[in-house]
A = this chain, B = another copy of it.
């Protein structure tokens, strides 16, 4: 059996942020799976079968990828950003746990530049001190747990990267998250709304938390809330290395 599965991150958008390791895996692959817009970022070529799928099909997509690899295909499962951060790698291991018949599939996880790193780089260095990353999607966890984590993150004075701040089905969760952080004393903190970073639609907006509005984010936005010391220098935003 010569099949394998590479779970790969395509970075935030631009091809210049795809690692050579991921490009090499795509060159060797026979099949590429992923959410349709991400599969669409992989250049078509003869011998590479695209398998685009819908959003929210993560577990099915992971199982399909494992099955193809078990059958001897060379499979790349693509995420945007990094596959290990709120993306497909965890879904693959969930599928593997549910179906031990695939336990001998050769799997590699190929890291990438996750959205918060690309957003931070565009703004300056807001993640230059201790920070956390919270997925605001409550599809897989209860909303009160998210609020609890935001309160504790505020108390820890972490900079906070918010993934999936908006969705069509639950447009209000970012508004509530901003309220929770405001109640926790973060009203003066700087907030970065970074959308579609490294693509032609890139847009970066910076406001204080008390002036932040959920409408500033869309489905392609990564939000970073600074810590209490995050500040401006010229057009840049950064968190000093020393303690606030």
Contacts and interface: CB of A to CB of B under 8 A. Distances in A.
A169 interface: no
A20 B117 CA distance: 16
A120 B11 CA distance: 16
B121 A84 contact: yes
19 contacts: A16-B21, A17-B19, A82-B121, A83-B121, A84-B120, A90-B128, A90-B240, A92-B125, A93-B124, A94-B238, A109-B125, A112-B117, A129-B135, A129-B141, A130-B132, A130-B133, A131-B133, A132-B156, A149-B157
A132 to B, nearest CB: 4
A233 interface: yes
A153 to B, nearest CB: 7
Given A11-B19, A93-B236, A118 B125 contact: no
A37 B128 CA distance: 21
A134 B140 contact: no
Contact of A113 (B94, B113, B152, B243): B113
Interface of A: 11, 14-21, 24, 58, 82-87, 89-94, 96-97, 103, 107, 109-114, 117-118, 120-122, 124-135, 140-142, 145, 148-149, 152-153, 155-158, 231, 233-234, 236, 238-243
Contacts of A149: 130, 156-158
A89 B124 contact: yes
Nearest to A15: B20
Contacts of A122: 109
A145 B155 CA distance: 11
A142 B243 CA distance: 7
Contacts of A157: 149
B125 A84 contact: yes
A132 B158 contact: yes
